[in-house]
A and B are shown apart, each in its own frame.
Chain A
Amino acid sequence: MNQTWVLGQRALREAWRTPEAILPTLFIPLFFLVVNVGQAARIFPSASTDFLNGQSYGAFQLPASLLLAASFGTAALYLVEDIEGGYFDKLRAAPVSRAALVLGRLFAEFVKGVVIAVAIIALGMVFGIEIASGPLGFVLLVLLTALWAVVFVGLLQLIALKTRNAAATNSGSLIFFPLMFLTPNFVPRELLTRPMEIAATFNPVTYLMESQRSLILDDLDWGTIWPGFAVVLVVGAIMLAANVRLINHYD
């Protein structure tokens, strides 16, 4: 645990010293929020759109921006840099738990996820979005976003460890597009066309998005909230097991 903490601190220092890698994580999701709201808000006026529960269309779009921000983790690319530069071997030659080598970066990604989620939600609140589920809902929303950031970057770390190549790792992040857009991104699932609804039902990110949306638009509705956490825990457990297995067999 101590080694994970020490390596996590190093990864956080690295992030602090490369603000140019963090700023797009904040800017691009906000850009998409503004653009999506600008394009569709007049179709869904808050007064006559039931699924908005009296809030603006921006509140409905906020989860998409949070998930977009959570998918911009840099840990996998920094890991490839460590591998290519030889520092990863330096760490492997120390008596460090192999799991700590990947967990340290994931811990840092969680902290970054919390900071970015708080910043985006706070900005949303400045522009009138309310978190209907209250302070506990706010905490759960931040937690869910940060945990997904860890899961997503952990999946990219698998590609980094397997290929040891920056281009391949970068290409791996393209999986974000089907995951993000085969979801009820613009309207609730029941309003999607049938093929899109089927695709969204099989996409685990749908449940995350619906969970986040519920935390923003509804009182604490545990029936909708828990599937999001279940997705993060199940996919996260698989991701962690695969990372540890891969690093234990890293030659």
Chain B
Amino acid sequence: MSGAAVEAQGLVKTYKGRGGEVEAVKGVDLRIEPGEIFGFLGPNGAGKSTTVRMLTTLLTITRGSATVAGVDVARDPDQARRRMGVALQEAGLDPRQTGRELLVLQARLFGMGGGEAAERAGELLRLVELEDAADRLIKGYSGGMKRRLDLASALVHRPEVLFLDEPTTGLDPASRITVWEEVRRINELGTTVFLTTQYLEEADQLCGRLAIIDGGLIVREGTPESLKAELRERTGLSHDPTLDDVFLDATGRTRAKAEGAVSEVVA
């Protein structure tokens, strides 16, 4: 892949509401290099999912442009879809299929023949350690198993860029760590990962670089270390700031400590 894995310039999304137009994303610029694990953070309603949905061709772009693996997502959505894998919030799976059937179907939609699709499904089931459950209906899977299957289905066509929208929301700590391991393994195989999350620990553990979006605009961007160092330097903090501190600072929130309890107060 030459050039950026993901690039967005002036990305804007407006919706028509009863009280007029609502601007959910107000001009996002991003550049993600091949091989990165890039974290995209923000409070609820900040524009994370809307941005991801535009980048993954699921939402039309109101203004601005975006490329994934060098392909313009608005001009050539089909080609862009061939280069990216997508696992959205709330693992989107068909409960009436088995894990194997779902992966074979996905592979066939990406143009593989029956034999090749079955072989690829087998490889992926091994990768996400779901071989034993492969021929069971998905409706019987646990939340963690569904997430891993969703990841596998996003990888079926060996995408250059993988979009993960809150991949661990609702998972127990053990399942969360398993998903992190999968994400690292996928990245080590050369796939660029674009990850949105509400968990700052997750971003700290996984991401080489991250951006924080608030009110539809990117308010911070950099490596976790550089963002923490910038905060310490700017505010003169006596302790080493965490990513939580960076997030609260970037989104205009403060943390008030009272008698050991921690409460979040909107500034």
Enumerate chain A interface residues (CB-CB to B < 8 A): 2-3, 6-7, 10, 13-14, 17-18, 82, 85-96, 251
Contact = CB atoms under 8 A, between A and B. Distances in A.
A93 B105 contact: no
A33 to B, nearest CB: 31
B96 A14 contact: yes
Chief secondary structure at chain A's binding surface: helix
A93 B86 contact: yes
B226 to A, nearest CB: 32
Interface string B66-90: 0000000000001101101010111
Given A6-B108, A93-B56, A94-B109, A86 B96 contact: no
9 contacts: A10-B101, A10-B105, A82-B94, A90-B88, A90-B92, A90-B150, A93-B81, A93-B86, A94-B110
B198 interface: no
Name, among A17, A91, A93, the residue most crowded by chain B CB atoms within 10 Å (CB to CB).
A93
A85 B95 contact: yes
Nearest to B98: A13
B97 A13 contact: yes
Contacts of A95: 78-79, 81-82, 109-111
B57 A93 contact: yes
Nearest to B79: A95
Contacts of B93: 85-87, 90
Interface SS majority for chain B: loop
Interface of B: 56-60, 78-79, 81-82, 84, 86, 88-97, 101, 105-106, 108-111, 137, 150, 153
A79 to B, nearest CB: 12
B58 A13 contact: no
Contacts of A7: 105, 109
A210 B201 CA distance: 69
A95 B60 CA distance: 16
B97 A89 contact: no
B96 A89 contact: no
Closest 5 CB pairs of A and B: A86-B92, A93-B86, A90-B92, A95-B81, A94-B109
- The winner among A6, A10, A94 for most chain B CB atoms within 10 A is A94
Nearest to A15: B96
A92 B58 contact: yes
A85 B60 contact: no
A133 B133 CA distance: 52
Contacts of A91: 109
A93 B91 contact: no
B178 to A, nearest CB: 21
A2 B59 CA distance: 26
A90 B87 CA distance: 8
Given A86-B90, A86-B91, A251-B60, A94 B97 contact: no
Contacts of B59: 251
A92 B60 CA distance: 13
Contacts of A85: 90, 92-95
Given A86-B89, A89-B88, A90-B92, A96 B109 contact: yes
A13 B96 contact: yes
